[in-house]
């Protein structure tokens, strides 16, 4: 495996991740392709669903967005990372997201040199080539294979995902709730259990659920924020070897800022809207839901902010197995 192969794809929020998105798009579109600044940054950005590709150390390396117009755009990968599957992973993430929203097709304006790339991912060219931002493009479209409803259900309004309230009072309760969150995650999971919850995150069933999620595809991403990695090593926490084997999809960082280390709570949140909050991290008591996207997004945004100012867990990543 090349040293460049360690990357992950994660959802991005325009208000939180604007600088990270700009770092990639400035290099690729404005500096490399000479796209005018006023054309690169448009009114659609705040309304789009964005994704970011990051290297193992958290550096932004690629972007893409899904617009309200059912189009894919702003696909960009830094030069050093091209040819390593980053663009394909970004594109597949956007396609999966469009499908999850019930879209039956997506379209894009492909730069002519990239038409073959999009054709390999099921897109079909349409019409003549045209100029956009001084670059020759061609419109392409892909039909999405949204699963059909059984005959008995056709004509019925789509059902909302079933929501299950979660409550924990004991270590066993906490383990059951955490397992439910992991099992229902689609691609991404964030875990702010700085001590890795001994007796919970090192259980066989939870380790297996994390392994399945982390190996479910190129876009799989599990990230953990830790307090004391040296202590976790000395204690022989069983999640550490799993994370060391799956460095491309399980990321670990260490809290370094005083305000982050003093944060009293612990939580887990997924891209399917599941979350569990423990108001006091030293206690098992917690509450949550398998499907409450507003709460999950709020926790994930906080996690992203802390992740950016935390340090890579090099003492764990570099340990010889």
What's the Rg (C-alpha) of the chain? Answer: 21
- 201: tokens are 């995150």
Query: How far, in Å, CA of 252 to CA of 303, rounded?
Result: 12
Supply the pLDDT for residue 315: 65
Supply the pLDDT for residue 31: 92
CA nearest 106: which of 54, 48, 153, 36? 48
10-residue mean pLDDT profile of the chain (321 residues): values are 62 87 93 86 85 88 91 93 89 86 88 91 90 89 68 45 79 92 92 92 92 86 90 88 86 91 92 91 90 89 90 64 36
Instruction: Tell me the pTM.
Output: 0.55
- 58: tokens are 């958290």
Supply the pLDDT for residue 146: 55
Supply the pLDDT for residue 321: 36
Query: How far, in Å, CA of 321 to CA of 319, rounded?
Result: 6
Q: Which domains does the chain have, with CATH numbers?
A: 3-143 (3.40.630.30), 165-317 (3.30.870.10)
SS3 (DSSP) at 40: helix
Q: Do residues 32 and 134 make contact, with C-beta atoms less than 8 angstroms apart?
A: no
Supply the pLDDT for residue 249: 87
Supply the pLDDT for residue 158: 43
Q: How many CB atoms lie within 10 A of CB 248?
A: 16
Q: How many CB atoms lie within 10 A of CB 308?
A: 13
Query: How far, in Å, CA of 54 to CA of 60, rounded?
Result: 4
Supply the pLDDT for residue 244: 84
Residue position matching structure tokens 């982390």: 214
Supply the pLDDT for residue 38: 81
């Amino acid at each position: 495996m090349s040293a460049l192969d360690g990357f992950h794809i994660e959802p991005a929020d325009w208000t939180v991740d604007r600088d990270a998105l700009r770092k990639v798009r400035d290099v690729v579109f404005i500096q490399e392709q000479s796209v005018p600044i006023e054309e690169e940054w448009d009114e659609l950005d705040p309304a789009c669903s964005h994704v970011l590709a990051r290297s193992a150390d958290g550096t932004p390396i690629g972007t893409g967005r899904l617009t309200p117009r059912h189009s894919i755009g702003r696909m960009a990968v830094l030069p050093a990372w091209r040819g390593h599957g980053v663009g394909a992973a970004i594109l597949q993430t956007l396609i999966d997201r469009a499908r999850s929203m019930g879209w039956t097709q997506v379209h894009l304006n492909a730069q002519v040199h990239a038409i073959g790339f999009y054709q390999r991912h099921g897109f079909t060219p349409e019409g003549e080539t045209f100029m956009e931002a001084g670059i020759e493009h061609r419109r392409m479209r892909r039909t999405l294979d949204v699963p059909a409803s059984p005959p008995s259900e056709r004509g019925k309004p789509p059902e909302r995902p079933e929501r299950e309230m979660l409550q924990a009072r004991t270590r066993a309760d906490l383990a059951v709730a955490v397992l439910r969150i992991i099992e229902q995650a689609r691609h991404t999971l964030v875990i702010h259990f700085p001590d890795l919850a001994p007796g919970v995150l090192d259980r066989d069933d939870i380790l297996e659920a994390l392994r399945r999620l982390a190996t479910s595809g190129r876009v799989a991403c599990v990230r953990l924020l830790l307090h004391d990695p040296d202590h976790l090593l000395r204690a022989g926490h069983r999640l550490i070897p799993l994370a060391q084997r799956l460095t491309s999809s399980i990321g670990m960082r260490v809290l370094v800022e005083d305000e982050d280390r003093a944060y009293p709570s612990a939580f887990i949140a997924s891209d399917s809207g599941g979350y569990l909050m423990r108001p006091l991290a030293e206690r098992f008591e917690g509450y949550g839901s398998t499907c409450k996207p507003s709460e999950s997004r709020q926790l994930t945004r906080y996690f992203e902010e802390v992740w950016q100012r935390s340090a890579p867990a090099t003492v764990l990543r570099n340990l010889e197995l």
